[in-house]
Structure 1
Amino acid sequence: MPSTSAKRHRRLDVLKGFSGRFIADLDHLERTRNYLWPGDVARALEAWIRYENSPARRFWLNESSADDCGCCPHPVEQRELLGFVARALPRKSARELRKRLEELDALY
């Protein structure tokens, strides 16, 4: 059984459940847009999932009160990026991302 420390540092498989078409469209978007780097969307989705599952999220409710150390992704900014990506993806892929975001947002 993995230790608690190993569980805490294990990366989430945030793209699990998305279609191959979504992954291909996402890869294309990240390679062709000058404001995205490969892996940006997966990191943003992981940050939003961790935020949604964290009891500490109440500290992020007021963006100005958050201690922005610069070393961690800001969850509100990551959510905004995901919304932007959903608008930039082709229709079917955007629908998949929006569905996942709606599920996560419903937790909040």
Structure 2
Amino acid sequence: MKCSEAKLFLRPSAIEHYITEGKTSIYRFMSLWSDEEPYPISELVEIQKQVTGEIKADYNQAPSEQLERALKRAENLLTRIQHKERELMNGNSKYRAELSQIKNVE
């Protein structure tokens, strides 16, 4: 995954794009390599899994109510993002076409 640190930092913006606003186009941002760096939802799923795993590790190390709530929120959000990913991949030909263009360029 290219720009993984930037994508981790921009995770809230990508979540807003895909989940809150319900947009069906690929989220893009300005990076060092491109003014239109793509952030496909599949990469958002991977980043959210990473964040969820880190919270879970912290919770397992030192359980607390705050970490338990954070873990539940992260897991719930991961489920919502995965659902949106399935929705986009199964029912949105525009998204799939845009995704295949990105893969052909890389």
When normalised by structure 2's length, the TM-score is: 0.32
When normalised by structure 1's length, the TM-score is: 0.31
Higher strand content, 1 or 2: 2
